[in-house]
Amino acid sequence: MQFIVYKAPTTSSIADTPHNRQMAAAARPLVSVQPLPGSLNDMATDHVTTVALPDVMKASIRPDIVNFVHSNISKNSRQPYAVSKKAGHQTSAESWGTGRAVSRIPRVSGGGTHRAGQGAFGNMCRGGRMFAPTKTWRRWHRKVNVNQKRYAVVSAIAASSIPSLVMARGHRVESVPEMPLVISDSAESIEKTSTAIKVLKEIGAYPDAEKAKDSQAIRPGKGKMRNRRYISRKGPLIVYGTEGAKLVKAFRNIPGVEVANVERLNLLKLAPGGHLGRFVIWTKSAIEKLDSIYGSFEKCSEKKKGYVLPRSKMVNADLARIINSDEVQSVVKPIKKEIKRASLKKNPLKNLNVMLKLNPYAKTARRMALLAEAERVKSKKEKLDKKRKPVSKWLLLYALVLRMEAVNVNGFLCVLRMSEQFDFSGIDDWQNNLEELAAAKAAGKAWYKTMISDSDYTEFDNFTKWLGVSQ
């Protein structure tokens, strides 16, 4: 695929206003005019001439508008259809009413034939009128705003100059040298179809025409019997500039190829099916006329009163370029890579680390509290230990024995002396303890004796029997 380029504008800063852009585009891209084969000799001697790209080709491409306008405009060539207004009513049917064991639908009067008594009039009846019989006064045509129609045409022309859109529409433009394809005016005087085909081959448009020829087929469906028998693809559209050019007759018989005068461009031809990107072949005079027909973004058109090419919503639609441009990046804030998310709340009264985060003094406070507690425990223990003397197990045994009054003191001591296990150290201490013990025991016994008589229970007659003591 070889596309020859033209020089692009020199400035690419996004700080272009449309006005600036106009100024810049005064040095507009140039389209070279394809010379035709040698038999048309006036071109052969000349150099390759160029034409400035008309402003129409830079209009915004709006497939939505084109689709809308196309779908409305294509309704305008419709012929009305309707059923006969008498259909289904050419009977004098009347309902039999109730009481005859039949449904209440109007039935055909009379007799002697199958038709008698059959249902009539209803859409559900055989031979009845259809539901909502179609009428000729259905609104067949659609009105579209002039400006919208012009927008659509302008969009379609712009799309026709973009090779990717044209290829996407299905045209075979691989061997076309340049888009938009402009051929010299000598083509307008072609008279023979054979020359026309040769010209197409020269400029690389023949594969598209071939494609159209190969695709001729019989339409599937009922359209076959409704005078729409054959279908085929669309080929190139030749647009010429001068009125009454002979090329119309030469090119019109080639299958797929259509011809149009620049002053009367049809959206239905420029965007067939509502799809942008028809392959258009312009003649030099046609493309030169485009500027005067459609004007530019600033200048009004000469042919269409007060019409100016539509302005796009975004002059520079390359978002990536805008975002990455210096003008935007210089005022942008740095990216926040680390996002802090909420973490689970932990209870500081249970979790020491979380407590320390909130209150660093908590550590020393807790330490001091623990130490103080340990201190307290220790000092209490010491105090109690000082008060209580330690009692050996032999002493306890002796106390038990004393109670039982089985053995006297000395006897017990003899027994103990004889056994080797006894430890004699601290025996004096022992003696004192013994006395203390005896004193305590005696005091207890004495109290026990007076316990009953001192109490108040003896006052009550109920208790005297089993207490056994009276006051």
Partner 1 sequence: MTCFLRWDPSWHLPCPSIHEELPGNCLTGPGKRPARLHGCSNCSGMGEEVMVAVPESVLKKQKREEEWELAKKQELAATKKKNAENRKLIFNRAKQYAKEYEEQGKQLVQLKREARLKGGFYVDPEAKLLFIIRIRGINAMHPKTRSILQLLRLRQIFNGVFLKVNKATVNMLHRVEPYVTFGYPNLKSVRELIYKRGFGKLTQQRIPLTDNSIIEQGLGKHGIICVEDLIHEIITVGPHFKEANNFLWPFQLKAPLGGLKKKRNHYVEGGDAGNRENYINELIRRMN
Task: Name which of 86 and 340 has its Cβ closer to partner 1.
Answer: 340
Dihedral Cα 390, 394, 399, 403, nearest 10 deg: 160
The C-alpha atoms of residue 73 and residue 444 are separated, in whole angstroms, by 128
Any residues with CB less than 8 A from the CB of 147 and at least 6 apart, and which?
A: 307
The answer to whether 372 and 364 have CB atoms below 8 angstroms apart is no
Task: Name which of 27 and 396 has its Cβ closer to partner 1.
Answer: 27
We find the least distance from the C-beta atom of residue 213 to partner 1, in angstroms, to be: 31
The C-alpha atoms of residue 212 and residue 256 are separated, in whole angstroms, by 5
Task: Name which of 8 and 418 has its Cβ closer to partner 1.
Answer: 8
We find the least distance from the C-beta atom of residue 62 to partner 1, in angstroms, to be: 11
- Token digits for 430? 């022992």
Neighbours of 361 (CB within 10 A): 8
- E strand or H helix at 417: helix 409-418
We find the least distance from the C-beta atom of residue 336 to partner 1, in angstroms, to be: 11
Task: Name which of 315 and 440 has its Cβ closer to partner 1.
Answer: 315
The C-alpha atoms of residue 121 and residue 129 are separated, in whole angstroms, by 6
We find the least distance from the C-beta atom of residue 297 to partner 1, in angstroms, to be: 11
Residues that bind partner 1 (CB under 8 A): 3, 5, 8, 10-14, 29, 53, 57-61, 158, 161-162, 312, 314-318, 321, 324-326, 329-330, 334, 342-343, 345-349, 354-355, 357-362, 364-365
We find the least distance from the C-beta atom of residue 237 to partner 1, in angstroms, to be: 19
Task: Name which of 319 and 418 has its Cβ closer to partner 1.
Answer: 319
We find the least distance from the C-beta atom of residue 158 to partner 1, in angstroms, to be: 6
Task: Tell me whether residue 154 is exposed, middle or buried, using C-beta atoms within 10 angstroms of its C-beta: 0 to 12, 13 to 18, 19 or more.
Answer: buried
Task: Name which of 227 and 364 has its Cβ closer to partner 1.
Answer: 364
The C-alpha atoms of residue 128 and residue 131 are separated, in whole angstroms, by 9
Any residues with CB less than 8 A from the CB of 377 and at least 6 apart, and which?
A: none
- Token digits for 445? 């016994």
Task: Name which of 187 and 276 has its Cβ closer to partner 1.
Answer: 276
We find the least distance from the C-beta atom of residue 151 to partner 1, in angstroms, to be: 14
